[in-house]
Amino acid sequence: MSIAIGDPVPDLALSATNDQEIRLTDYCGRNLVLYFYPKASTPGCTQEGLDFAAAEAAFNAANTTILGVSRDGLRAQQNFKTKQSFPFELIADTDEQLCRAFDVIKPKTLYGRESLGIERSTFLIDATGTLVREWRQVKVKGHVDEVLEAVRGLAQ
């Protein structure tokens, strides 16, 4: 199962920071930015999280919640959130249920070795719970501004 633009998001139970169990459908009535990153506490992932955190008030003003997702365990996610003071929750998708639903697990090559990992990706879900936009193979620099612009476009 892979979610495509125009599809409703699945109603999956997910473990998140601050000992929460959340469902994507909990956010109906608000827009939702779901950003997937490869690994907590690595440079690119930290910068992306800090960029989203810096823009959190603007997203909130646009009726939008931000959630970060990686395959890291809950303890690693909580440590990452706490250390960086992220104002949003992080999902520990250790069973890759959400990653597979959004088709972000891709082959990667590092030092000549191939493995499967998360392709940095962001998804915008509107207030009805429908996927309306996606960004794949994300480059961190300038990405949050582009997502915020798309969110603001939903209100028009």
Among all residues, which ones are annotated catalytic? 45
85: left (phi over 0), alpha (psi -120 to 50) or beta: left
Distance CA 93, CA 137 (A): 19
Distance CA 147, CA 142 (A): 9
C-alpha angle with apex 115: 109 to 121, nearest 5 degrees? 75
* Cα 140 from chain centre: 13
